[in-house]
Amino acid sequence: MKVWAIVPAAGIGRRMQSKTPKQYLNINGRPIIEISIGRLAALPYIERIVVMLNPEDTIWPSLRLDQNPKVVCQSGGDTRYQSVLNGLLYLQTLASADDWVLVHDAARPCVRLKDIDTLLHELEGHPVGGLLGSPVDNTLKRVDSRREVIATVDRGDIWQAFTPQMFRFGLLLDALTHVDRRSKTITDEATAVELSGHKPRMVEGNRDNLKVTQPTDLELAGQILNLQALET
């Protein structure tokens, strides 16, 4: 059984409000994408890391990340799921239906290798796959368009979804192809798998697996990475 990785990195980071796409912004002096790919590249069991780039990307070549023979780049799509689908289509000639494909956001540099190992371990033999996440701690409120609270959501069975998300190659390809045909919008792979009638398994990961999204996340991610460096 082989493990392949896809790193969606074709977004423009609208919420970051920076001219440079957020995956190329530096944290502690290193581009976010370099840190994220570096974490996956440290796992010897990953066969190949397919990085999905925006067709207008001009920065990637300067980072020389594909000097690592496991790293290849391909063109992403207009949405995150289309980027991932393009990656699966690229892998189609290499991967078998039962292989694992691990999808990890370029914008999540703080993922811990230990958590990826746990994900693989807990999903061993699982027919579908699953994802890293963590239970929600705060009370959740539903608000209306005026931001007035209209309901309190029971958080008892609510988890936040992180990446990596890891699924059987054939199953994920079918699920995303289906989503594409129905022109649905989804923001993670698990949703596509759920829509196909499967139940992805949730695996608890450390909550410091932040997705760098807003400008203030840059500082926070830097501090998380510094703390992680002290732990090892």
Helices (H), 92-204: 113-122, 169-181, 189-195
Structure tokens at 191: 């949703």
Q: How far is the CB of 61 from ligand CTP (least distance, A)?
A: 17
Q: Determine the interface stretch with ligand CTP among 99-107, 109-117, 171-179, 224-232 (rule: CB under 6 A).
A: 99-107
Which class for 157: exposed (0-12), middle (13-18), buried (19 or more C-beta within 10 A)? exposed
Cis preceding linkage at 215, omega within 30: no
Q: Is residue 34 a contact residue for ligand CTP (CB under 6 A)?
A: no
Give the one residue of 23, 165, 191, 209 binding ligand CTP; rule: CB under 6 A: 23
Query: With respect to ligand CTP, which residue has the nearer C-beta, 33 or 171?
Result: 33
Q: Determine the interface stretch with ligand CTP among 78-86, 120-128, 175-183, 199-207 (rule: CB under 6 A).
A: 78-86
Q: How far is the CB of 165 from ligand CTP (least distance, A)?
A: 11
Q: Is residue 14 a contact residue for ligand CTP (CB under 6 A)?
A: yes
- Extended strands (E) in the chain: 3-9, 26-27, 30-31, 46-53, 71-75, 100-103, 129-135, 140-143, 149-153, 159-168, 201-204
Q: How far is the CB of 27 from ligand CTP (least distance, A)?
A: 14
What is the C-alpha to C-alpha distance for residues 66 and 60, in angstroms, rounded to an integer?
9
Query: With respect to ligand CTP, which residue has the nearer C-beta, 15 or 184?
Result: 15
Binding characters for ligand CTP, 105-134, by CB under 6 A (x = yes): xxx---------------------------
**Residues of span 205-224 touching ligand CTP by CB under 6 A:** 211, 213
User: In 3D, which of 23, 27, 113 has the Cα closest to residue 121?
Assistant: 113
Q: Which residues bind ligand CTP (CB under 6 A)?
A: 8-15, 23, 52, 76-80, 83, 105-107, 211, 213
